[in-house]
Amino acid sequence: MNRQLILLKRPNGTPAASDIEYRESAIPEPGEGEVLVRNLYFSMDPAIRGWMDDAPNYRPAIPLGTPVHSVTLGRVVASRAEGYKEGDLVSGITAWEDYSISSPEAGLGVMPSDLGIPLSQFLGVLGPTGLTAYFGLLDVGQPDPGETVLVSAAAGSVGSIVGQIAKIQGCRAVGIAGSDEKCRWITEELGFDAAINYKTSASLVEDIQKACPAGVDVYFENVGGEILDAALMCLNVAARIPFCGAISGYNSQVPVPGPYNFWQLVVKRARIEGFLIPDYAERFGEGIAQLAQWMSEGRIHHAEHVVDGFENTLDTFLKLFDGSRHGKLVVRIAED
Amino acid sequence: MNRQLILLKRPNGTPAASDIEYRESAIPEPGEGEVLVRNLYFSMDPAIRGWMDDAPNYRPAIPLGTPVHSVTLGRVVASRAEGYKEGDLVSGITAWEDYSISSPEAGLGVMPSDLGIPLSQFLGVLGPTGLTAYFGLLDVGQPDPGETVLVSAAAGSVGSIVGQIAKIQGCRAVGIAGSDEKCRWITEELGFDAAINYKTSASLVEDIQKACPAGVDVYFENVGGEILDAALMCLNVAARIPFCGAISGYNSQVPVPGPYNFWQLVVKRARIEGFLIPDYAERFGEGIAQLAQWMSEGRIHHAEHVVDGFENTLDTFLKLFDGSRHGKLVVRIAED
C-alpha cells in the first residue's frame, strides 16, 4: 500500500487541508532505467510552496492530482537503473508518499551510509540546507575576513549555518530573527556576534546599523519584504546579496511589492545574485566533507526537529511559515 | 556676475519652478588648491533629481540654498591647483551657474581639446553617457557574441549607445522605448534588431518573448517599475542585469513598489548589479578611445539636442522626465 498526499487544488495563500487529499494507491513498478524508492524522511522546505503554484519556476509546477513533490531520503527497494542497488541510501526530489519511482535523470543521488551520521542530517546540515548555506555564502557572497555578514531568518535551517560559517571565515556575523528566544539561541549557542528581533524592533534600519557598525558587506537574503528593504539601506560599497528564496512571498496571492529600496544597489554598487543549490551538484562532495569536518570539530551546531508520522506531514509543513520553530524540520514516515 | 539656479526646497515629486530660485552672485575667487571654472555646457541627467532629495545617495544631497549640482563642461579661467592652467577644457560635477569653484579632489578632469570633437560630445557619447553604456554593458553585463541584450529607455542617451555596442559585440539588440518614432529610430537608424513600444504593448512580457526568441541574457536596466518586472520574467539562466538608475522612481514621493518579480533572480540564477561610472575613472581613456574609434568608423551614431540659454535650464531638465526627446540633452549657457 502506498500512502500519498495528493495536490488537489493550487493553494490560495497558505495551503489548506482541502487543497491536499490523502489517497492510498498500489505500490508502483519501476520501468527500465528506473528505481523504486521507499521514502523514509520528508524534508520540510518553503520551496515546496512555490512548486504548488502554476507560475514560472525552476521546476515544473506539481501537476494537480499527483503527490506533492519534496526532497526526501529513502532506500532503494528495487532497481532497474545502473548505479543503484537494493538497500542504497538515496536522496533527491520524490514526493509525499511511501514509495516513489525515480531515476538518475531525476537527480536521485546515492548517499554514503557508513559514516555513522544520523540519517536526517542528509536532509539538513549535510544536505541541501547546509550546502545552500555553504555555497551561497562562500561562492556567491565571497566574504573576506573582517567583513560583516548579515543573515535574515537567522534561526532557520539555512541562516543558522550561514552565520556559523561566517564566523569560521573570520567575519562579524549578525542575525535577524523573529523572537527573543531565537536571538538568544543564535548568539549564545551558535556564536553570532549580534541578533535583532525584527518583531520588536522599532527601526530595523537603525538596529542593523547598530549591530553592524562597519556596515553590511554580505547580506544573506532569505526573507524578502521589509527586512530586505532595511538591509538594502545598510549596505557597504560593493556589497553582495546571495539570494536563494524569499519566504515572505511564498504564500502571497498578490505579488509581494518591493524591494522599495532597490536603487540602493546603484548607490552602493552592490549585487544581488540568485542561486540554486542543484547547480553545485558537482561540488556537493567538497561541501559535505567540509561541513562534516566543522561539525566534528564542534564549530558548527545545528538544530533539527524530527516529527514522526506520515499523517503529520501537512501540519509540519505549515509550521515553516508560522515562525514557531528554529532549525531544520523533517518528517520521518518510516523506520529505516 | 554669476547667474545661479539655487535649490530652495526639496522637490515634492517633479521639480517645480518654485523649488528653484534664480540668483545673481559675485564671481567667486579660487582658494589655494582650487580652480575657477567658466561653465559652458550643463549635462541634463535624471540623476540630478536624486541629488535634490535628502536621502541616502552616492553623493551628499545638494544643500538647500546652493546651486543645483550638475555634470558640466567648462574652461579654467583661474587656477591655483596643480595640473590645471587657464584655458584648459574641464569636466566634472560643478553646478547650474556661470562660474564654479572646483578642484582635483572634486574630480575635475582635463579633457583633450585638440581632437576636433564638438564640445558637447564630452558630456554625451564621449562622456559619462557613452562611458556608462560602455562599461555597464561590457564590464558589468559581459555579453557574449550570439547572446540577446535587452535595453530599456533604448532611445535615451545611454540606452541608444548600449544597443549599438551590443551589435558590435555580435549580440542581438532589442530596445524598449516609449513611442513608435523612437522604435523606428533605434531599429532603422541605429541598427537594433527589434524594438518594443511599451506604451502600446498589450503584454510587455509577451512582446519581449517575441522579440527575444532565445530569451534575455543581458537586460540593461534604466527604468525600473513594470518594465523591469516584465524583463525579469524573460531572463535566461545566468542572466545579468547591469543597473545604473531607475528613472521611474526619481520623481516619486512614495517608494516605488517592486520589482514584484524579484524572485525570478533565484529561478534564473540571475544577477542584478549596480554600478556608477566614476568608479571606472582610471579606465575612461580606454572607453573614450574605443567609442571615438567606433564613431569614426560609423558604427556608433548618437543623437544630441543642444538647447541654448541658461534661462532654459530647468525647462530642459524637466523634458528628461516627460519622454518627449530621444538622445542626449545638454544646455549651452555660453559660447566657448
Task: Give pLDDT tens digits for A225-251.
Answer: 889 989 999 999 999 999 986 555 555
Q: Distance between CA B142 and CA B100 in Å, rounded?
A: 38
- The pLDDT value recorded for residue B103 is 94
- The pLDDT value recorded for residue B246 is 52
Search chain A and give the residue with CA nearest B235: A56
Which structural domain range is residue A177 located in?
128-278
Task: Give pLDDT tens digits for B107-158.
Answer: 898 887 767 788 999 998 998 889 999 999 999 999 999 999 999 999 988 9
The pLDDT of A307-336, averaged and rounded, is 90
**Is residue B267 less than 8 Å (CB to CB) from chain A?**
yes
| Chain A residues close to B270, C-beta within 8 Å | 273-274
Q: Least CB-CB distance to B56: which of A233, A257, A276? A: A233
CATH of the domain at A207: 3.40.50.720
| Chain B residues close to A255, C-beta within 8 Å | 258, 260-261
Please tell me the pTM assigned to this model. Answer: 0.86
B285 part of a folded domain: no
Helix, strand or coil for residue A262?
coil
- The pLDDT value recorded for residue A226 is 86
Residue B285 — very low, low, confident or very high, per pLDDT cuts 50/70/90? confident
CB atoms under 10 Å from CB of B238, counted, come to 13
| Pair B34, B105 in one domain | yes
Reported ipTM: 0.82
To the nearest whole Å, the CA of A269 is away from the closest chain B CA by: 4
Residue A95 — very low, low, confident or very high, per pLDDT cuts 50/70/90? very high
Contact B262 A268 (CB under 8 A): no
Q: Is beta strand B172-177 parallel, antiparallel or unpaired with respect to B148-151?
A: parallel
| Pair B203, B134 in one domain | yes
| Pair B156, B111 in one domain | no
Between A336 and A95, the more confident residue is: A95
Cβ-contact B68, B62 below 8 angstroms = yes
Assess whether pLDDT exceeds 60 at residue B255.
no
A295 part of a folded domain: no
Assess whether pLDDT exceeds 90 at residue A4.
yes
Contact B267 A274 (CB under 8 A): yes
- The pLDDT value recorded for residue A250 is 54
| Chain A residues close to B280, C-beta within 8 Å | none
The pLDDT of B185-212, averaged and rounded, is 97
Assess whether pLDDT exceeds 80 at residue A55.
no
Contact A276 B264 (CB under 8 A): no
Contact B262 A224 (CB under 8 A): yes
Search chain A and give the residue with CA nearest B247: A263
Assess whether pLDDT exceeds 90 at residue A260.
no
| Chain B residues close to A244, C-beta within 8 Å | 266
B297 part of a folded domain: no
| Pair A176, A95 in one domain | no
**Is residue B60 less than 8 Å (CB to CB) from chain A?**
no
Give the range among A188-202, A230-244, B84-98, B274-288 with minimum mean pLDDT.
B274-288
- The pLDDT value recorded for residue A253 is 56
| Pair A145, A100 in one domain | no
Contact B257 A261 (CB under 8 A): no
| Pair B96, B148 in one domain | no
B216 part of a folded domain: yes
- The pLDDT value recorded for residue A255 is 58
**Is residue A57 less than 8 Å (CB to CB) from chain B?**
yes
- The pLDDT value recorded for residue A60 is 87
Residue B203 — very low, low, confident or very high, per pLDDT cuts 50/70/90? very high
| Locus of grid cell 569636466 | B91
Give the range among A108-112, A209-213, B37-41, B201-205 with minimum mean pLDDT.
A108-112
> Which stretches does DSSP call E strand in A153-308?
172-177, 194-197, 216-220, 235-243, 271-274, 304-308
Mean pLDDT of chain A: 91
B143 part of a folded domain: yes
- The pLDDT value recorded for residue B113 is 74
Host H or E run for residue A330: strand A328-332
Task: Give pLDDT tens digits for B92-107.
Answer: 999 999 999 999 998 8
Q: Distance between CA B240 and CA A114 in Å, rounded?
A: 42
The pLDDT of A200-229, averaged and rounded, is 94
Between A322 and B88, the more confident residue is: B88
B168 part of a folded domain: yes
| Pair A102, A132 in one domain | no
**The total number of structural domains that make up chain B:** 2
Cell of A87: 538497500
Give the range among A210-219, A253-262, A318-327 with minimum mean pLDDT.
A253-262
C-alpha atoms less than 13 angstroms from C-alpha of B265 in its C-beta half-sphere:
25
| Pair B59, B170 in one domain | no
Contact A57 B267 (CB under 8 A): yes
Q: Least CB-CB distance to B272: which of A267, A268, A271? A: A271
Contact B263 A224 (CB under 8 A): yes
A178 part of a folded domain: yes
Contact B243 A233 (CB under 8 A): no
Task: Give pLDDT tens digits for A110-168.
Answer: 887 767 788 999 998 998 889 999 999 999 999 999 999 999 999 988 999 999 999 99
Contact A269 B279 (CB under 8 A): yes
| Pair A105, A150 in one domain | no
| Pair B102, B133 in one domain | no
Q: Least CB-CB distance to B243: which of A246, A255, A265? A: A265
| Chain B residues close to A260, C-beta within 8 Å | 255-257
| Pair A10, A94 in one domain | yes
**Is residue B260 less than 8 Å (CB to CB) from chain A?**
yes
To the nearest whole Å, the CA of A299 is away from the closest chain B CA by: 29
**Is residue A58 less than 8 Å (CB to CB) from chain B?**
yes
CATH of the domain at A18: 3.90.180.10
B312 part of a folded domain: yes
| Pair B263, B135 in one domain | yes
Q: Which of A158, A155, A126, A164 is nearest to A46 (CA)?
A: A158
Helix, strand or coil for residue A238?
strand
